[in-house]
């Protein structure tokens, strides 16, 4: 498509500086350029997607209707796959001050008895990060916006509402509220749960049968003597189900179910909130930071792809909060699609790879939402008889030693799409070990510093043609026990032994494409990966 040829994308037309909200990286007005990808909606999912694309050499325009980031917390938990994505963007040190440990989640009956406990994944950490961390979203969002604004190859357009999207076989055209337009080869719609673009594109929703009204209250403690739980707690009380979350620093969150007959607007007032908080603390002991009435939904859009436009994050799915997976699933969307779009833009992959985005992510997120919904139903039961039966059953499980569940074990791997079907470990996150370097131990991704395929070999002898095939795929070849893959703790070698693998092919999003069980199978593994690019 001539309007979007890459030489057009890279030209530098010196027309004087545009407004601060209209450009980054060069002085070409965004309305006179055609980009590789337009990212609409700059919450964490959109910002991470834009930076991942730019990191891979894609020309990106990033657009948001708001001129500034939202200054209140919403999401509160990051898991190790999300943390690894942020690490890959060079943000590991920047996120440390805004995070804190993720406490176990205890489900408690009205009499205080333990019904269930969700625990963090124990060490050693599979991805060289704690399986879960708490974080303060306004601080993360502000940092991401600043980094996005400084990213080469990204044009930033804030305070600009997208009102329409049209497309043809060559690209997309976005219509903005100010009467201007932006052209791109592809569009990624990350514009939230109320996504206007999702509605315009004509997506439907699959309803997984969860719709509950709650009021969410974020407080900042000001009295160090307030006695609050040291863990996260799900109060499974039929008179009013309640959640307590121990956030980082002095952030503490409560979520209260809104009962039938209660007005959500009236419940989301300071007077009502302090009445709800009375069992734990009183005014003056904490400051109310945010009060918001929500309906917790379990919804999955379909489809996620409309020609050259894709949905991601809350625009594609809405997850109840009982596993802290809403934002993390959106960040998985960004990581999954970014490398595929980059390969398509470079002409290295075709429609089959782009179609694999929905084939992989939609069934996976649907499974996660269903698991989360079922946990929510434990908490939300309001019928006294059914709640008593629930308590009796879960107390019996706890007495039998089955109360504890590892949170990360509940999350399924990918099972469809660009994967070697039937291959042990395919669809799982590929472990990231700590490795020994002359300067000390470091995470493997920091040492390698690349975002492409990796072929990881054990100690077997491999045919010489393997290197040629890996080169055609653009895969870096690594061998266990040789630099730079000098493991400090044997994590990756142990994972390979458990899967009886002599080789692992890791995708650019750190998902295992597939494994080989004997040296002769590595060539077949690479052939399948090359053929699947479409």
The per-residue pLDDT for 465 is: 78
d(CA 321, CA 307): 31
The string of DSSP letters for 212-225 reads EEEEEEEEEE--TT
The per-residue pLDDT for 463 is: 75
Residues whose CB is less than 8 angstroms from the CB of residue 91 and which lie 6 or more positions away in sequence, other chains included: 143, 144, 147
How many CB atoms are closer than 10 A to CB 398?
18
Tokens of 170: 């060559």
Quick one: CA torsion of 462, 468, 473, 478, rounded to 10 degrees?
Answer: 40
| Residue in this structure with the two tokens 């121990």, named with its chain if needed | 246
The per-residue pLDDT for 330 is: 98
Residue 169 exposed, middle or buried by CB count within 10 Å (0-12, 13-18, 19+)? exposed
The per-residue pLDDT for 162 is: 97
CB 36 within 8 A of CB 53: yes
Residues of the chain with pLDDT under 70: 1-32
CB 199 within 8 A of CB 189: no
The per-residue pLDDT for 28 is: 53
Tokens of 404: 């504890």
Query: Biggest alpha carbon distance in the chain?
Result: 73
Q: CA angle, corner 178, sides to 174 and 184, nearest 5?
A: 20
CB 453 within 8 A of CB 474: yes
CA 305 to chain centre: 18
Domains of the chain: 2-71+137-203+299-368 (3.50.50.60), 434-531 (3.40.30)
How many CB atoms are closer than 10 A to CB 296?
22
The per-residue pLDDT for 29 is: 64
Task: Specify the pTM.
Answer: 0.93
Tokens of 36: 């590789």
How many CB atoms are closer than 10 A to CB 121?
17
CB 81 within 8 A of CB 332: yes
In 312-352 the beta strands, taken as DSSP E runs, fall at 317-318
Nearest to 194 by CA among 43, 369, 354: 43
Three-state secondary structure call for residue 256: strand
Going from the C-alpha of 179 to that of each of 60, 63, 170, 182, the distances in angstroms are 21, 15, 22, 10
Summarize pLDDT for 48-106 with one digit per residue, the tens. 999 999 999 999 999 999 999 999 999 999 999 999 999 999 999 999 999 999 999 99
The per-residue pLDDT for 16 is: 25
CB 414 within 8 A of CB 360: yes
Tokens of 110: 């009205």
d(CA 168, CA 173): 9
Q: Which residues pair with 467 in a beta bridge?
A: none
Tokens of 84: 């690894």
Angle between helices 44-55 and 326-345 (to 10 degrees): 30
């Amino acid at each position: 498509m001539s309007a979007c040829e890459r030489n057009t994308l890279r030209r530098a037309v010196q027309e004087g500086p545009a407004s601060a909200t209209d450009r980054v990286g060069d002085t070409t007005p965004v309305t006179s350029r055609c980009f590789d990808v337009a990212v609409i909606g700059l919450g964490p999912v959109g910002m991470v997607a834009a930076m991942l694309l730019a990191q891979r050499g894609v020309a990106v325009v990033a657009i948001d209707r708001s001129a500034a980031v939202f200054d209140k917390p919403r999401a509160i938990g990051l898991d190790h796959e999300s943390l690894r994505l942020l690490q890959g963007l060079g943000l590991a040190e920047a996120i440390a001050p805004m995070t804190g440990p993720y406490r176990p989640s205890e489900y408690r009956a009205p009499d205080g008895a333990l019904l269930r406990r969700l625990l963090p994944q124990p060490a050693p950490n599979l991805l060289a990060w704690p399986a879960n961390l708490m974080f303060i979203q306004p601080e993360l969002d502000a940092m991401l916006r600043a980094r996005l604004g400084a990213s080469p190859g990204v044009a930033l357009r804030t305070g600009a509402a997208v009102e329409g999207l049209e497309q043809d076989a060559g690209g997309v055209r976005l219509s903005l509220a100010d009467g201007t337009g932006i052209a791109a080869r592809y569009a990624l719609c990350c514009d939230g749960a109320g996504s206007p673009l999702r509605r315009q594109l004509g997506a439907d929703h699959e309803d997984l049968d969860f719709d509950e009204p709650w009021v969410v209250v974020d407080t900042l403690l000001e009295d160090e003597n307030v006695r609050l739980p040291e863990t996260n707690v799900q109060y499974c009380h039929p008179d009013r189900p309640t959640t307590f979350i121990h956030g980082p620093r002095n952030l503490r969150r409560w979520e209260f179910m809104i009962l039938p007959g209660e007005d959500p607007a009236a419940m989301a007032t300071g007077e009502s909130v302090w009445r709800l908080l009375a069992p734990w603390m009183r005014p003056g002991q904490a400051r109310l930071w945010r009060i918001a009435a929500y309906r917790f939904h379990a919804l999955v859009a379909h489809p996620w792809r409309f020609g050259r436009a894709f949905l991601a994050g809350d625009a594609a799915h809405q997850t109840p909060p009982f596993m802290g997976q809403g934002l993390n699933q959106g960040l998985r969307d960004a990581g999954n699609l970014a490398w595929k779009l980059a390969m398509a833009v470079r002409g290295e992959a075709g429609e089959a790879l782009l179609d694999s985005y929905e084939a992989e992510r939609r069934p996976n997120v649907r499974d996660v939402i269903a698991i989360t919904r079922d946990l929510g139903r434990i908490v939300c039961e309001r019928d006294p008889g059914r709640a008593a039966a629930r308590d009796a059953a879960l107390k019996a499980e706890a007495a039998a030693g089955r109360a504890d569940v590892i949170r990360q074990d509940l999350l399924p791997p990918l099972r469809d799409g660009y994967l070697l079907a039937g291959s042990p470990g395919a669809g799982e996150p590929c472990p990231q070990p700590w490795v020994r370097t002359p300067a000390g131990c470091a995470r493997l991704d920091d040492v390698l510093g690349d975002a492409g395929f990796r072929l990881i070999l054990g100690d077997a002898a491999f045919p010489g043609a393997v290197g040629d095939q890996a080169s055609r795929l653009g895969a870096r070849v690594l061998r266990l026990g040789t630099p730079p893959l000098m493991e400090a703790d044997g994590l990756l070698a142990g994972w390979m032994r458990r899967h009886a693998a002599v080789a692992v092919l890791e995708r650019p999003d750190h998902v295992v494409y597939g494994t080989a069980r004997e040296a002769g199978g590595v060539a077949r593994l690479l052939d399948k990966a090359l053929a699947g690019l479409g």
